[in-house]
């Protein structure tokens, strides 16, 4: 399995790319910068959601919070 870059690093790299990329009309620069901002915002929302739930390890199918935490970690979204 390929290592995934954490979300903060990916968003930062996208912001640098948005500055460095050559684009006649500026649309590519704006789209890349917007995507970086969106990544940061979605990661923040996901972490807020995670913090608002509690661990339910007593559930037979497993804990939804733990599953969400594992999925976010796999995407490179780390809790602070």
pLDDT digits (tens, 9 = 90+) for 34-50: 999 999 999 999 999 99
Give the pLDDT confidence score for residue 2 in this predicted structure. Answer: 63
Give DSSP secondary structure letters for the chain: -PPPPPHHHHHHHHHHHHHHS--SSSHHHHHHHHHHHHHHHHHHHHHHHHHTS---TTSTT--HHHHHHHHHHHTT----
Instruction: Identify the band that residue 56 occupies on the pLDDT scale cut at 50, 70 and 90.
Output: confident
Give the pLDDT confidence score for residue 44 in this predicted structure. Answer: 93
Average pLDDT, the chain: 88
pLDDT of 76 over the 80 cut: yes
37 versus 63: which is more confidently predicted?
37
């Amino acid at each position: 399995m390929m290592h995934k870059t954490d979300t903060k690093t990916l968003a930062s790299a996208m912001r640098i790319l948005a500055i460095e990329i050559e684009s006649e009309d500026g649309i590519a620069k704006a789209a890349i910068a917007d995507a970086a901002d969106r990544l940061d915002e979605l990661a923040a929302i996901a972490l807020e959601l995670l913090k608002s739930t509690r661990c339910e390890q007593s559930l037979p199918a497993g804990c939804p919070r733990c599953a969400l935490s594992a999925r976010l970690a796999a995407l490179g979204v780390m809790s602070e």
